């Protein structure tokens, strides 16, 4: 039997006996092919063993890379599962996060303001459509403080429940602008896992879980 014929026969037998198409199955088939070629080589013209060695090394490297890919996929799956479990632990609890949008419910909406120094602030309140519904003025002190809105609009009516955002325009005693950070709090009612980062649902507001700064268990 010639070397080519023996190789083809061995390859066909191996593929028939083993239906596994994984790289490990192909590797076993390659070894059978190599062994058959060596057994049926012409003694007067032996095959180049260095070439076979290089093929073995290359094939082993491919197999190792695929195994590493499988391991990385498993690790990513575990990481996503951990993120899901972590996000679910927020449901039903009150969280605090960076942001300017809060929920108006039970006749109030609340924000936390953090000012680097004291001064005065004009606060513009907008609805979910971006329309201005009210403005308020307040005195700022240095550090963290709360701003609560009772839902009264500029026309004297009470705003419906929903999501409202604020814009803070603040200045100090010398009329220099102050950058005021805003935080919001709310009770998490659910979570969305369709994206890469779980998103917490607070009323109609959606907050990525990595934006959460603190949580209070109710």
CATH number of the domain that residue 195 is part of: 2.60.40.4070
Last residue of a domain, one of 34, 61, 88: 88
Domain identity same for 83 and 100: no
**Taking the mean position of all CA atoms in its chain, how far away is CA 218?**
26
66 plus 124 within the same structural domain: no
2 pLDDT band, cuts 50/70/90, is: very low
Q: Is the distance from CB of 91 to CB of 191 less than 8 angstroms?
A: yes
Indicate the range of 86-90, 122-126, 186-190 predicted with least confidence.
Answer: 86-90
What's the chain's length in residues? 218
Q: Are residues 50 and 79 in the same domain?
A: yes
Residues 112 and 205 in one domain: yes
Domain C-terminal end among 45, 69, 88: 88
Mean pLDDT value of segment 60-79:
71
Residue numbers of the domain that contains 79: 3-88
**98 and 63: one domain?**
no
Where residue 70 falls among pLDDT bands split at 50, 70, 90? confident
Q: Using the predicted structure, report yes or no on whether residue 187 has a pLDDT greater than 60.
A: yes
- The answer to whether the beta carbons of residues 137 and 123 sit under 8 Å apart is yes
Question: Domain check: are 178 and 149 in the same one?
Answer: yes
For residues 191 and 98, state if they share a domain.
Answer: yes
Q: Among 42, 63, 88, where does a domain finish?
A: 88
156 shares a domain with 84 = no
Task: Return the pLDDT at 56.
Answer: 67
Query: What are the residues whose beta carbons fall under 8 Å from the beta carbon of 204, sequence distance 6 or more?
Result: 103, 128, 162, 163
In a shared domain, residues 53 and 134: no
Predicted confidence (pLDDT) at residue 134 exceeds the cutoff of 70: yes
Based on the domain organization, do 52 and 30 belong to the same domain?
Answer: yes
The domain total for the chain is 2
**Residues near 121 by Cβ (< 8 Å), separated by ≥ 6?**
113, 115, 137, 138, 139, 140, 168, 169, 170, 171, 178, 180
């Amino acid at each position: 039997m010639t070397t080519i014929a023996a190789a083809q026969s061995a390859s066909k037998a191996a593929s028939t006996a083993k239906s596994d198409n994984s790289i490990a199955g192909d590797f076993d088939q390659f070894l059978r092919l190599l062994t058959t070629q060596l057994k049926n080589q012409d003694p007067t013209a032996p095959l180049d063993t260095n070439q076979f060695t290089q093929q073995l090394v290359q094939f082993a490297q491919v197999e190792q890379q695929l195994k590493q890919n499988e391991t990385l996929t498993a690790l990513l799956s575990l990481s996503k599962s951990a993120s899901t479990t972590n996000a679910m632990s927020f449901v039903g609890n009150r969280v605090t996060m960076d942001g300017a949008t809060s929920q108006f419910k039970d006749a109030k909406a609340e924000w936390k303001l953090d000012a680097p120094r004291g001064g005065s602030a004009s606060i513009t309140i907008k609805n979910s459509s971006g329309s201005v519904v009210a403005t308020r003025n307040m005195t700022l002190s240095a550090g963290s403080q709360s701003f609560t809105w009772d839902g009264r609009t500029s026309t004297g009516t009470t705003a419906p429940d929903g999501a409202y955002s604020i814009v803070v325009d603040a200045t100090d005693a010398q009329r220099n602008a102050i950058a005021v950070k805003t935080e919001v709090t709310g009770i998490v009612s659910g979570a969305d896992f369709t994206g890469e980062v779980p998103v917490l649902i607070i009323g109609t507001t959606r907050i990525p879980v990595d934006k959460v700064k603190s949580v209070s268990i109710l």
